[in-house]
């Protein structure tokens, strides 16, 4: 089930909210658990068995961490969870590469279907086990509460990755207030608009251009395509995170932020402090620091960074493109640690960051490495096509220009500055500004719904991860 679908927006969500707001709080976890399992099984009823298995086994291991040899229990949890991820996400990839290197059909496997969101709920399960192992939290005695943590539908499919120690207390007790609900609705609408109005329109341009063959593609079109994708992936994923955070607030939860305007960063290091924060901090706390972080000398730090970003790329998918993308970002992080430029003009630092990120997105978006290399060649080896004016006219109209302008504005903190200004104003003008802001949100929401009804939206990019 998609957040950007009529069945969710007009049926599933209203029913869930009604049940939560009219029933005693003692029943809220039960209602949300049933709703979450229904949400996940809506499109993949068989795959729910994988998640339920994960819940039961991680619950059992969590209890054993306190009763038996802690390290053995931790190793068992790592083997199970990573084994689950490898089996469903990477086994076909491993077999294909073994066959390719050997030149023989050594491994013949049926195509294994990838359960939606397995990378997210597996990392959340690992967070629970590791937090218990580190004595940061007590093992969860209620299997229903642990099941809710792993399966909670607002962030189940595409994040953000919610770590157990951040939400443990909220599983037991949380507040439902009109103020929090209002804030959640606003945040959900913002995410919905990002996805339907901006990301999907950018997706049409990016998909069209990336599907061109070499003879049709020229340098200007290649740059238009990757810039469109740069906006698409940000507004698609940050839009989903906004909707997840907003839904969480509607049900009384507070999830941590997952994006903080990454495209205003001035270094790759800063970019990763702002992009997919829940994933970067997960790898930092559960992998980079345990590996030694930057405490064991510069050489070990470089090795640790490369390992972390190789796995970051692999986490996104079982393709060499993703691995190259991860190592590519790790390489620039290493370069930044070694060179440490000083007094660089901000505009040059920002340009450097955008160029690194945009080029990196080519590997992320292309179908394979050959496609990525060919696309990069079109970007950087000047060429023009006689059909360029017609192609631009076909892809870019007044509507796209307006949406692109909105994308540029929402990629910066300008909106937050305006909202803060409205909140600081008092009296008559403050009320007028607030009413105008709400009216604009509602108008954009209705326009986005019209796109949804017209069936012009596409699935969230991060569903496949």
Each residue's pLDDT tens digit, 126-135: 999 999 999 9
Surface-to-core class of residue 400, CB atoms within 10 Å of its CB (0-12 exposed, 13-18 middle, 19+ buried): middle
| Of 85-94, 337-346, 380-389, 425-434, highest mean pLDDT | 85-94
Domain boundary among 173, 198, 214: 173
In a 3-state reduction of DSSP, which class is residue 386?
A: coil
Query: Rounded mean pLDDT of the chain?
Result: 89
Encode pLDDT of 100-120 as tens digits: 888 887 777 788 888 888 999
| pLDDT at 385 (0 to 100) | 74
Looking at the structure, tell me whether residues 92 and 213 fall in a common domain. Answer: no
CA dist 210 and 416 (Å) reads 33
The reply to whether 357 falls in a domain is: no
Q: What is the pLDDT of residues 60-85, one digit of tens each?
A: 999 888 777 788 889 999 999 999 99
**Is the same domain home to 206 and 158?**
no
Asked if pLDDT for residue 412 goes beyond 60, the answer is: yes
pLDDT digits (tens, 9 = 90+) for 158-182: 779 999 999 999 999 898 899 999 9
147-156 confidence digits (pLDDT tens)? 999 999 998 8
The per-residue pLDDT for 417 is 74
**Rounded mean pLDDT, 255-259:** 94
**pLDDT band with cut points at 50, 70 and 90 for residue 3:** confident
218 and 98 co-located in one domain: no
Cα maximum dimension of the chain: 77
Is the pLDDT at 190 greater than 70, yes or no?
A: yes
Q: What share of the chain has pLDDT > 70, as a percent?
A: 94
Is 342 contained in some domain? no
Which residue from 370, 392, 16 is spatially nearest to 221, judged by alpha carbons?
Answer: 392
pLDDT for position 55 = 95
In a domain, 233, yes or no: yes
Looking at the domain assignment, is residue 269 inside a domain?
no
**What pTM value is reported for the model?**
0.91
- pLDDT greater than 90 at residue 456: no
pLDDT value of position 427:
58
Are 152 and 255 in contact by the 8 Å Cβ rule? The answer is no
Determine the 3-state secondary structure of 49 from DSSP. Answer: helix
Q: What is the pLDDT of residue 426?
A: 54
Residue 448 lies in a domain: yes
Question: pLDDT value at position 82?
Answer: 95
* pLDDT band (50, 70, 90) for residue 372: very high
**Domain for residue 40, yes or no?**
yes
Residue 430: predicted pLDDT = 64
Give the least confident one: 150-154, 234-238, 261-265, 448-452. 448-452
User: How is residue 175 written in tokens?
Assistant: 């507040």
Same domain (yes/no): 169, 190? no
pLDDT in tens, 7-38: 999 999 999 999 999 999 999 999 999 999 99
pLDDT tens figures, 197-207: 999 999 999 99
**Is the separation of the CB atoms in 147 and 55 below 8 Å?**
yes
User: Does 68 map to a domain?
Assistant: yes
Cis peptide preceding 191, ω within 30 of 0: no
pLDDT band of 142, cuts 50, 70, 90: very high
Residues 439, 186: Cα–Cα separation, whole Å? 11
In a domain? residue 192:
yes
Q: Which residue has the tokens 């390719």?
A: 100
To which residue do tokens 């238009």 refer?
Answer: 224
Q: Which residue segment(s) compose the domain that 428 sits in?
A: 180-259+382-453
Greatest mean pLDDT among 157-171, 308-322, 338-352: 308-322
Closest-CA residue to 163 (of 71, 260, 283, 65): 283
Give the mean pLDDT of 261-283: 95
Around Cβ 105, how many Cβ atoms within 10 Å? 9
Statement to judge: residues 43 and 143 lie in one domain: yes
Q: Which of 85-89, 210-214, 312-316 has the lowest mean pLDDT?
A: 210-214
Q: Are residues 25 and 120 in the same domain?
A: yes
Percent of all residues in the chain with a pLDDT value above 90, rounded to a whole number: 63
Number of domains making up the chain: 2
pLDDT at 392 over 90: no
Verify that 39 and 158 share a domain, yes or no: yes
Domain boundary among 146, 173, 200: 173
Predicted local distance difference test score (pLDDT) of residue 216: 81
Residue 141 has pLDDT above 70, yes or no: yes
Residues annotated as catalytic are 316
Question: Region 361-375: what's the mean pLDDT?
Answer: 94
Which residues, in sequence order, are CB contacts of 172 under 8 Å at separation 6+?
145
52 and 125, same domain (yes or no): yes
Confidence check: pLDDT of 421 > 90: no
């Amino acid at each position: 089930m998609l957040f950007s679908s009529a069945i969710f927006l007009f049926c599933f969500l209203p029913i869930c909210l009604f049940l939560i707001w009219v029933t005693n709080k003692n029943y809220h976890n039960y209602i949300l658990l049933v709703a979450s399992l229904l949400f996940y099984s809506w499109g993949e009823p068989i795959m729910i068995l994988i998640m339920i298995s994960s819940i039961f086994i991680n619950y059992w291991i969590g209890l054993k961490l306190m009763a038996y040899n802690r390290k053995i229990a931790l190793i068992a949890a790592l083997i199970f969870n990573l084994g689950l991820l490898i089996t469903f996400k990477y086994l076909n990839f491993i077999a294909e590469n073994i066959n390719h290197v050997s030149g023989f059909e050594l491994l013949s496997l049926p195509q294994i279907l990838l359960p939606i969101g397995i990378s997210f709920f597996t990392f959340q399960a690992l967070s629970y086990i590791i937090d218990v192992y580190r004595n940061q939290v007590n093992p969860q005695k209620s299997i229903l509460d642990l099941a809710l943590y792993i399966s909670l539908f607002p962030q189940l499919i595409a994040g953000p990755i919610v770590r157990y120690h951040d939400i443990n207390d909220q599983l037991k007790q949380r507040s439902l207030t009109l103020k929090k609900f209002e804030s959640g609705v606003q945040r959900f609408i913002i995410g919905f608009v990002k996805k339907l109005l901006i990301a999907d329109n950018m997706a049409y341009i990016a998909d069209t251009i990336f599907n061109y063959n070499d003879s049709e593609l020229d340098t200007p079109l290649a740059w238009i395509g990757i810039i469109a994708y740069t906006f698409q992936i940000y507004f698609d994923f940050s839009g989903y995170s906004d909707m997840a955070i907003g839904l969480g607030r509607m049900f009384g939860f507070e999830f941590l932020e997952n994006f903080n305007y990454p495209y205003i960063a001035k270094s790759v290091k800063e970019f990763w402090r702002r992009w997919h924060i829940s994933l970067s901090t997960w790898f930092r706390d559960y992998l980079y620091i345990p590996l030694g972080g930057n405490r064991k000398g510069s050489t070990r730090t470089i090795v640790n960074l490369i390992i972390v970003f190789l796995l970051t790329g692999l986490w996104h998918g079982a393709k060499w493109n993703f691995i190259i993308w991860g190592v590519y970002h790790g390489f620039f992080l290493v370069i930044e640690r070694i060179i440490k430029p000083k007094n660089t003009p901000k505009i040059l630092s920002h340009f450097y960051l955008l160029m690194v990120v945009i080029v990196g997105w080519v590997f992320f978006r292309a179908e394979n490495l050959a496609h990525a290399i060919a696309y990069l060649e079109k970007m950087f080896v000047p060429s023009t096509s006689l059909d360029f004016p017609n192609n631009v006219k076909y892809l870019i109209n007044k509507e796209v220009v307006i949406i692109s302008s909105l994308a540029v504005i929402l990629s910066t903190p300008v909106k937050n500055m305006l909202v803060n200004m409205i909140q600081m104003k008092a009296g008559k003008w403050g009320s007028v500004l607030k009413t105008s802001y709400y009216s604009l949100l509602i108008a954009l929401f209705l326009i986005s719904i019209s796109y949804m009804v017209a069936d012009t939206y596409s699935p969230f990019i991060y569903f496949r991860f």
